[in-house]
Amino acid sequence: MCRPCMIRENPDAKPTALFDGDGGQNNEVESEVYNQSGSLILRTAYLYYLKGKTQQEIANVLNVSVPTVSRLVKKAKDEKVVEFVIRDPYIQSIEMEEKLKQVFKLRDVIVAPTPFLPLHGKTMQGFEGNARRAVALEGARYVQRIIGDHDILGVSWGKTIHALIHFLNPCRKINAGFVTMHGSIVGCNPDMDVRALVARMSMAFGGRNYSLLTEGFVSTGEILEIIRTEVNVNRVFEMFDRITISLAGVGAFYPERESMLYETGYYISESDLKDLRSKDLMGDILLRFFDSQGNECDSLFKERTLGIDLETYKKIKTKVVLAADRKKSNAVLGIIKGGLADVLIADYSLANTLLELNSNNSLKGMRKGE
């Protein structure tokens, strides 16, 4: 008659034999012998999660193997010795991203949780432009994750793109091309001019810089055609077809004006504004004015704008649009409807308002169909 026995030379190894007195396997005993020490699980969790020790360091302290530490860490999670909580507003941001992707059929959405973004040792709560900075940070990290040496990145002007550059990691060097998607704007802050932004971005990445050296708006369509024949201008326009990633901010004109293009005071007169509003003006992107469906407004500006046209822009593989502040929600909704964005990076307030607007529009459509 065989006596019960367990061969376990290595404390981390699984028993090689375990029988009851009649030669059968004792399931109850087997399940018990594999139970880990509660104290050991607790100490492992404490060292790993609170003290930040590596699994090798913990193995040395507890005199066990690294695989045992890995099992103890897993056990701590399984037994709820430790629990993981994604606190608001972070969990809300993740849920909002999934909703926006599903509703608007976007390739990717990042909703920036703004209240706790650190800024020089403080939180961004209470700082002017906190939402913009949070969106800019997410934009910088997103671009650095997806860009490669063979990419050409098209860049637009604006406050958010300007803020994005401050978050670029200069150690992340990529030999990509960087090109302005439109001409310069007279009267804007020189730091936010598209040429300055492209120059700084290409320097941060260590890439190549291609810029239009002329103004974004000209007097007539005839002058625009003449400028297009210039060697440098023509070279940049040829690159528009090769852009693989684009970065663009958004200006809004409805229900409130939130547009740097209007704020410069150089280009849009009150009569121009009245004309554009009669054509369902919602916002601007890439110096192009668009309506609630994302179509370019038919105006004199259309034939006087030196920059990528919206049909060429739509062909870019990855169009990243960044926007902050719920005031821009109607404009962003138009951009999505017009197919002018593949990736949206926005703050929570704007993202939530987008869903509300879409829901309201859907209800109106249903009522009309009744």
pLDDT tens for each residue of 39-77: 889 899 999 999 999 999 999 999 999 999 999 999 999
Assign 362 a pLDDT band (cuts: 50, 70, 90). Answer: low
**Residue 274 clears pLDDT 50, i.e. is over it:** yes
Distance (Å, whole) CA 292 – CA 277 = 11
- Kindly report, residue by residue over 158-209, the tens digit of the pLDDT: 999 999 999 998 888 999 999 999 999 887 888 889 999 999 999 999 999 9
Residue whose entry in the numeric block shows the structure tokens 């649009």: 321
Assign 215 a pLDDT band (cuts: 50, 70, 90). Answer: very high
Average pLDDT score over residue span 270-284: 94
pLDDT for the residue 364: 57
Higher pLDDT, 196 or 115: 196
**Residue 28 clears pLDDT 90, i.e. is over it:** no
pLDDT for the residue 262: 87
Is residue 15 reached through a cis peptide bond, with omega within 30 degrees of 0 on the bond before it? Answer: no
- Three-state helix/strand/coil letters over 178-236: EEECECECCCCCHHHCHHHHHHHHHHHHCCEEECCCCECECCCHHHHHHHHCCHHHHHH
Task: Identify the CA nearest to 343 among candidates 146, 167, 183, 160.
Answer: 146
pLDDT for the residue 269: 86
pLDDT for the residue 171: 84
Looking at the chain, the whole-number percentage of residues with pLDDT higher than 90 is: 66
**Residue 3 clears pLDDT 80, i.e. is over it:** no
Task: Identify the CA nearest to 168 among candidates 202, 209, 207, 204.
Answer: 204
Token reading at 366: 């249903």
pLDDT for the residue 265: 74
State in Å, rounded, how far the first CA of the chain is from the last one: 84
Higher pLDDT, 36 or 105: 105
Assign 117 a pLDDT band (cuts: 50, 70, 90). Answer: very low
pLDDT for the residue 7: 27
* In contact, 15 and 5? CB cutoff 8 Å: no
Assign 115 a pLDDT band (cuts: 50, 70, 90). Answer: low
pLDDT for the residue 36: 64
Mean pLDDT of the chain: 85
Question: For 71, phi and psi rounded to 5 degrees?
Answer: -70, -35
Domains of the chain, earliest start first: 36-78 (1.10.10.60), 90-369 (3.40.50.1360)
Average pLDDT score over residue span 290-304: 94
Average pLDDT score over residue span 347-363: 86
* In contact, 279 and 270? CB cutoff 8 Å: no
Lowest mean pLDDT among 5-19, 43-57, 183-197, 303-317: 5-19
Assign 235 a pLDDT band (cuts: 50, 70, 90). Answer: very high
- Kindly report, residue by residue over 243-273, the tens digit of the pLDDT: 999 999 999 999 999 998 888 877 888 899 9
* In contact, 4 and 20? CB cutoff 8 Å: yes
pLDDT for the residue 128: 43
Distance (Å, whole) CA 136 – CA 142 = 10
pLDDT for the residue 367: 41
